[in-house]
Chain A
Amino acid sequence: EDQVTQSPEALRLQEGESSSLNCSYTVSGLRGLFWYRQDPGKGPEFLFTLYSAGEEKEKERLKATLTKKESFLHITAPKPEDSATYLCAVQDTGTASKLTFGTGTRLQVTL
C-alpha cells in the first residue's frame, strides 16, 4: 500500500527565513510525485509534478526536488502570502490514477 509521510506537521518562519519541507514516500513504482498548496477552506492548488529521481522544478520562491525515497520543497526568502498547507501526493504505476496524499505541512510566515 502506498504511503506518504510529511514533516514537519507545522512550521513557523519569519519573513525571509528559508527552510525545507519533507515528503517521504513508499510506492511499488512511482508514476509521479505532486506538490499542492491549500489555503483554508479551499481546494488544493497545483504547484509541481516530478517524475524521476534527480528532477527539480522551480516556481518563484519554491523549488521541488526528488530522490528515490523522498521529495523536498525548498522555500527561499518566504513572504507572509506563502502561508498555507503544503500537500505532497504520489501516483503509483500499479494503481494508475488515484493520488495518495500525506497529511500536509502547515506553514506560517510572519513579518
Chain B
Amino acid sequence: DTGVSQNPRHKITKRGQNVTFRCDPISEHNRLYWYRQTLGQGPEFLTYFQNEAQLEKSRLLSDRFSAERPKGSFSTLEIQRTEQGDSAMYLCASSLVGDRDGETQYFGPGTRLLVL
C-alpha cells in the first residue's frame, strides 16, 4: 500500500536559509493539500492543488512560501528566508475528488522543520 509519503521527515536549518519539502500523494489522487501544525494545535490549511492547478492559498501563506505540483503528481513546498516562526510540522494530504468518500483527505507522516 503506497500511502502519502513526505521527504525529508526532519529538517533543521538556520534562520535565513531556504528549505524545500516534497510530497508524493496516493497514486491517482487528483487533489493535494498542504497544512501546517504547531505543538498543541490542529493542522492549519495552507494551499491545495487539483491536478497541477493551485486553486486556493491561505492568508497564512506569506510570499516567502511557494508550492508547485508539476504534471499533477508530486508537490514541493519551498520556504525562502526561513524564520524561527516557521518551525512546525508540515503535513501533506491527498484525496480523489469525484467520489463522495473522495472528500476524505489522507495525510502523510509530515516533515518536522526546526529553524534555529
Contacts and interface: CB of A to CB of B under 8 A. Distances in A.
A104 B55 CA distance: 28
A54 interface: no
Contact of B41 (A41, A49, A98, A103): A103
B48 interface: yes
A45 B93 CA distance: 11
Nearest to B103: A32
B25 interface: no
B72 interface: no
A101 B43 contact: yes
B100 interface: yes
Contacts of B107: 36, 43-46
A94 B103 CA distance: 14
Given A49-B103, A89-B42, A98 B110 contact: no
Given A91-B103, A103-B41, A98 B108 contact: no
Contacts of A46: 104-107
Q: Find the residue from A41, A42, A43, A89 having the highest chain B CB count within 10 A.
A: A43
Interface residues of A, number: 25
Nearest to A95: B56
Contacts of A49: 101, 103-104
Q: Is the interface of A mostly helix, strand, loop or mixed?
A: strand
A92 to B, nearest CB: 11
Contacts of B108: 43
A49 B100 CA distance: 10
B4 to A, nearest CB: 8
B48 A44 contact: no
A101 B45 CA distance: 9
Contact of A44 (B43, B44, B55): B43
The 9 A-B residue pairs with the shortest CB-CB distance, nearest first, are A101-B42, A43-B107, A98-B45, A44-B107, A43-B110, A43-B109, A49-B104, A101-B43, A32-B103
11 contacts: A32-B104, A44-B91, A49-B101, A87-B42, A87-B43, A89-B43, A96-B56, A98-B56, A99-B33, A103-B41, A104-B42
